[in-house]
Amino acid sequence: MLTLSELSQKMEKLDNWVLDGSSIIKELQFEDFKKAIEFVNNVAEVAEKNNHHPDIFINFNVVRLNLTTHSAKALTEIDFKVAEEIDKIKL
């Protein structure tokens, strides 16, 4: 598990993610449903590559991502690695 100091440092590197207990959450709004799904498909590629899958919630043009390491019941390095890769997705 990560220390509070490590969590703080890692959060500073992310773009608009919010720390919520043992998860990090990002919510994005797109111009329409199609763009939201395109983004989710790109997230799926990142998730598959890293074998680490966020919970994904879609509400028309709003996508909410929730990352945590379920097996550890905590945030781990892989959560932040995947979040950083998701932040690099451009549409």
Q: What is the CATH number of the domain that holds 53?
A: 3.30.1360.20
Domain that residue 39 falls in: 4-87
Backbone angles phi, psi at 55, to 5 degrees: -75, 130
| Residue tagged 């945030």 (tokens) | 75
DSSP annotation of 15 reads: S
Q: How many structural domains is the chain composed of?
A: 1
Tens of pLDDT, residues 27-79: 999 999 999 999 999 999 999 999 999 999 999 999 999 999 999 999 999 99
Interaxial angle between packed helices 77-87 and 33-50, expressed in degrees from 0 to 180 and rounded to the nearest 10: 140
pTM, two decimals, is 0.94
The answer to whether the CB of 60 falls within 8 A of the CB of 37 is: no
Residues in the chain: 91
Q: Give yes or no for residue 1 having a pLDDT over 90.
A: no
